[in-house]
């Protein structure tokens, strides 16, 4: 009888212990955020409160918000001081390093299942996180892409342009998971690559060592296409989830100002898409599309900017000349050199380069 009681007590103790362990696991699982929302701000203190509050007021609450103050000289630090004790917010402050390095730093400490990179002058829909959770909880896609809408400085909705929508192939496969094998080059060219317009599964990003390219603009293009060519599984979600503020202070509002960044991006696109030889033909076509864009962007520059950016054009010529003698590069070299050696381009040589030529 005594032995029976001891056995019963032992079993009860084991059950209590197992229950505690399970409860602890459930608690830990619940405490781990599902979304890691990353916001990097450089002198966007005027817009930042609306961005942060739109996230904090989400109907779905299992998220963390990482805000990076990228060396701002405005009131960004003062605004973030008001949120420093908020349980959902982590604040990183450092000297100005650029958007890419700020995002990369935040990714290293993020714990969520999905990254969402929200610009510091934009905001999200209140139901966005709940909708994205419902969309991802069963199939765990690597990318979910959705609709956005532009809003002007006065809060007036400007409607949805072509870049706010999804490629035709995605619009007609909302219940399916797609990969690069399902997408044509035309689909890829029309894809809205901006990071705010999709979420990325953290594990896939880290496993494939995908980061934003440092110290350049158009970083979203490289980040997106690296995921696609690495085999990311895409889930279309044609819902309006993100609101983008249209204003003259936006980083890329003056495209011509950033010709040097575009030239660097052409090189990054080539290097990252060609890591995957099984998709070489599509990688060639996407790279060619970007490289061909250099000529048009150059022609749109003012004479002053052509003088300024000529060294960047020269560096890209050196990059092209250093590539292997494949049929792709033979053709690209021929086309690019014809443009580069034209009188209209060569007259913008810098004085320094003219001295080197003498």
- Residue 96 and residue 93: Cα distance in Å, rounded? 9
Radius of gyration for the alpha carbons in the chain, expressed in angstroms and rounded: 25
- The answer on pLDDT for 126 being more than 80 is yes
- Alpha-helix runs per DSSP H in 98-229: 99-109, 128-136, 168-171, 185-189, 202-207, 219-229
Q: Is the dihedral of CA 287, 293, 298, 302 positive or negative?
A: negative
Q: 310, 112, 107, 328: which is closest to 209 by C-alpha? A: 107
Considering the entire predicted model, what is its pTM?
0.86
Helix axes 280-299, 259-273, angle to 10 degrees: 170
Q: Domain 33-245 belongs to what topology?
A: Spore Coat Polysaccharide Biosynthesis Protein SpsA; Chain A (3.90.550)
The distance of Cα 275 from the centroid of its chain, to the nearest Å, equals 19
**Which pLDDT value is given to residue 249?**
56
- Residue 128 and residue 197: Cα distance in Å, rounded? 11
Q: Mean pLDDT of all residues in the chain? A: 87
CB 119 within 8 A of CB 196: yes
Span 318-328, average pLDDT? 91
Question: Which helix (H) or strand (E) segment is 39 a member of?
Answer: strand 35-41
Q: What letter would DSSP give residue 253?
A: S
Question: pLDDT of 70-114, one tens digit each?
Answer: 999 999 999 999 999 999 999 999 999 999 999 999 999 999 999
Question: pLDDT of 283-311, one tens digit each?
Answer: 999 999 999 999 999 989 999 999 999 99
- The answer on pLDDT for 19 being more than 70 is no
Tokens of 301: 């520059």
- The answer on pLDDT for 323 being more than 80 is yes
**Which pLDDT value is given to residue 155?**
74
Would you kindly state where each structural domain of the chain is located, as residue ranges? 33-245, 255-357
Tokens of 325: 């003698």
CB 286 within 8 A of CB 269: yes
Beta bridge partners of 234: 143, 178
Q: Exposed e or buried b for every residue in 304-339, given b needs 16+ CB within 10 A?
A: ebbebbbebbeebbebbeeeeeeebbeebbeebeeb
Question: pLDDT of 186-244, one tens digit each?
Answer: 999 999 999 999 999 999 999 999 999 998 999 999 999 999 999 999 999 999 999 99
Which phi and psi (to 5°) does residue 29 adopt? Answer: -65, -40
Greater pLDDT, 31 or 144: 144
- Residue 90 and residue 84: Cα distance in Å, rounded? 7
Q: 171, 257, 162, 273: which is closest to 221 by C-alpha? A: 273
Q: Exposed e or buried b for every residue in 223-251, given b needs 16+ CB within 10 A?
A: bbbbbbbbebbbbbbebebbbbbeeeeeb
């Amino acid at each position: 009888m005594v032995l029976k009681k001891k056995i019963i007590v032992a079993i009860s103790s084991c059950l209590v212990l197992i229950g505690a362990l399970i409860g602890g696991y459930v608690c830990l699982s619940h405490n781990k955020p599902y979304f890691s929302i990353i916001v990097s701000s450089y002198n966007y203190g005027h817009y930042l409160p609306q961005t942060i509050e739109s996230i904090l007021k989400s109907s779905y609450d299992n998220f963390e918000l990482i805000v990076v103050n990228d060396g701002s000289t405005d009131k960004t630090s003062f605004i973030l001081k008001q949120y420093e004790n908020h349980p959902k917010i982590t604040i990183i402050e450092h000297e100005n390093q650029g958007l890419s390095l700020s995002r990369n730093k935040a990714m290293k400490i993020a714990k969520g299942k999905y990254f969402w990179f929200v610009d510091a002058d934009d905001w999200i829909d209140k139901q966005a996180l709940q909708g994205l959770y419902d969309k991802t909880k069963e199939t765990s896609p690597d990318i979910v892409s959705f609709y956005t809408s532009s809003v002007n400085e006065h809060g007036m909705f400007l409607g949805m342009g072509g870049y706010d929508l999804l490629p035709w192939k995605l619009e007609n496969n909302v219940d399916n998971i797609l990969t690069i094998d399902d997408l044509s080059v035309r689909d890829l060219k029309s894809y809205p690559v901006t990071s705010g317009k999709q979420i990325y599964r953290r594990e896939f990003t880290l496993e494939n060592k995908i980061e934003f390219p440092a110290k350049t603009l158009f970083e979203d293009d490289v980040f997106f296409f690296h995921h696609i060519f690495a085999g990311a599984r895409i889930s279309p979600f044609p819902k309006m989830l993100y609101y983008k503020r249209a204003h003259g202070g936006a980083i890329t509002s003056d495209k011509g100002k950033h010709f040097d960044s575009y030239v660097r991006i052409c090189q990054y696109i080539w290097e990252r898409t060609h890591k995957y030889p099984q998709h070489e033909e599509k990688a060639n076509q996407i790279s060619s599309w970007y490289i061909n864009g250099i000529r048009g962007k150059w022609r749109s520059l003012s004479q002053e900017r052509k003088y300024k950016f000529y060294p960047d054009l020269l560096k890209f010529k050196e990059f092209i000349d250093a590539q292997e003698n494949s049929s792709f590069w033979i053709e690209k070299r021929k086309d690019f050199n014809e443009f580069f050696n034209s009188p209209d381009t060569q007259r913008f040589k810098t004085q320094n380069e003219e001295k080197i030529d003498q």
